[in-house]
A = this chain, B = another copy of it.
Amino acid sequence: VSPTSRIRLVDVAAAANVSKQTVSRVVTGSADVAEHTREHVLAVIARLGYRPSASARTLCHGRSYTLAVVGLDFGFLSTDLYQGAARQAQALGYNLLLKTLAKPDTLSVEQLLLSLTDMHIDGVLWAIPDAYDRCDWINSHLLARINIPVVFLSTAPRAGIITVSFDNLDGARLAMQHLIDQGRRRIAHISGPLGWWVARERIRAWRLALQEAGLDAPDSYLAEGDWTPASGERAMAQLLDRHQNIDAVFVGNDRMALGALLTAHRRNLKIPHDIAVIGFDNILESASFYPPLSTVCQNKCQHGELAVATLIRHVAAHFGDTKDAQPALQTLTHSLIVRESSASSL
């Protein structure tokens, strides 16, 4: 009947000959309403095409049912993580805001978080990896000041914060154990930037595994990359220049492994005969590398889903929906994927 302007609660109330509160009760399903009235109001709502205004509700509740995921500009975040987070948020009735941090300094972080409180964001997914001093702001009282639940992704667990991370130590162990089981003895490692927590965890696993197997882990067997394929090329060249007899390389991610493979081909090395290679992540492409890459599968989509689910539980607790104590640490595990690059028998 009224085509252009928006149908409001009062319009429904007027058309149904009831008060606004009654309509409100029907819409929210909060209190008891006579079945007769309820059906009538519902019919009027359907006829008029009434839809409650989210912003009005936010104003009343001080709660927006909106989460924010904040990542670094030009970040390495996978699409899968966003998708998983977005899907889970929608499934649980929340919206997801995409935020980008231009510079990871304290001032920018503060500005960003304050802007989130302006919008009554209910929770924050901190998707900036734990690297260098990017987490210093946690030490400040900012977390308490913004008074919004924050879940940290890929961050070293510590007191006072909630983290959802993969167990990188264990994942990297899977890769190392596999290489050792294949009979490899001189196993080098191409790592991500040493400033990154996940890179250090994988290095730690590399050292531990060699140690436990009674094998050498000299520093010259370690080359640092920056996660990009090009850095993998360079790191592999460094390792081969230093040592002729390396028989396996555990690479910190699949992208660098791609570059490592290229360098190996250029030097006429046979993979896996001369050198076995294993990566980390299981990106879509790695199954079609030449040769197909063995790797440690990290399900990013699942990461996004679990992070959002965890965050929403904390949000609910924060608003008093539930009284349950929430875990502050959630850990995800990896699985080993063996392909031709590491298994002569395949």
A residues apposed to B, CB below 8 Å:
51-56, 58-59, 64, 66, 69, 71, 73-75, 77-79, 82-83, 85-87, 90, 95-100, 102, 114, 117-120, 228-230, 232-233, 255, 258-259, 261-262, 265, 284-285, 287-290, 292
Complex: A230 Cα to B51 Cα, angstroms = 45
Beyond known contacts A78-B79, A90-B100: 20 more, CB 8 A cutoff: A51-B114, A54-B120, A55-B55, A55-B59, A55-B119, A71-B83, A74-B83, A75-B83, A82-B98, A95-B119, A96-B97, A96-B98, A97-B97, A97-B98, A229-B284, A255-B284, A255-B285, A259-B288, A261-B290, A262-B292
Q: Known contacts being A51-B114, A114-B51, is A95 close to B95, with CB within 8 Å?
A: no
| CB-defined contacts of A95 to chain B, threshold 8 Å | 97, 99, 119
Q: Are B55 and A229 in contact (CB under 8 A)?
A: no
B54 touches A289 (CB 8 A): no
Nearest B-chain residue to A112, judged by Cβ: B90
- With a 10 A CB-CB cut-off, give which of A64, A98, A99, A261 has the most chain B CB atoms: A98
A287-B51 contact, Cβ under 8 Å, with A59-B56, A75-B83? no
Residue of B nearest to A114 (CB): B51
Expressed in whole angstroms, the minimum distance between the Cβ of A193 and any Cβ of chain B is 16
Q: With both chains docked as a complex, state the minimum distance between the C-beta of A120 and any C-beta of chain B, in angstroms.
A: 6
Q: Check B53–A120 contact: CB distance below 8 A.
A: yes
Contact partner, A288, options B52, B83, B99, B232, Cβ 8 Å: B232
Docked-complex contact A55 and B284, CB < 8 angstroms = no
Compute how far the CA of A114 lies from the CA of B77 in the bound complex, rounded to whole angstroms: 30
Report the minimum CB–CB distance from A148 to chain B (whole Å).
12
Q: Are A258 and B285 in contact (CB-based, < 8 A)?
A: yes
- Please determine whether B83 and A230 come into contact, CB atoms closer than 8 angstroms: no
- 10 residue pairs, one from A and one from B, having the closest CB atoms: A229-B288, A55-B58, A54-B119, A86-B100, A259-B288, A54-B118, A96-B98, A86-B98, A55-B59, A258-B288
In the assembled complex, which residues on chain B have CB atoms less than 8 Å from the CB atom of A290?
A: 261-262, 265, 290
Tell me the bound Cα distance from A230 to B79 in angstroms. 19
A229–B158 CA distance with the chains assembled, in angstroms = 40
A290 to chain B, nearest CB (A): 5
Cα(A82)–Cα(B262), bound, Å:
30
Chain B residues whose CB sits within 8 angstroms of the CB of A55 once the complex forms: 55, 58-59, 64, 119-120
Cα–Cα, bound, A329→B99 (Å): 27
In angstroms, Cα B62 to Cα A54, docked, is 11
Which residue in B83, B98, B285 is a CB contact (below 8 Å) of A229? B285
| A230 CA to B289 CA, complexed, in Å | 10
Do A73 and B79 have beta carbons less than 8 Å apart?
Answer: no
Q: List 10 A-B contacts (CB under 8 A).
A: A51-B118, A52-B118, A75-B79, A75-B83, A90-B100, A97-B98, A228-B284, A255-B288, A261-B290, A262-B288
Residues of B within 8 A of A265 (CB): 290
Chain B residues with CB under 8 A of A287: 229-230
CB of A45, distance to nearest CB on chain B (Å): 13
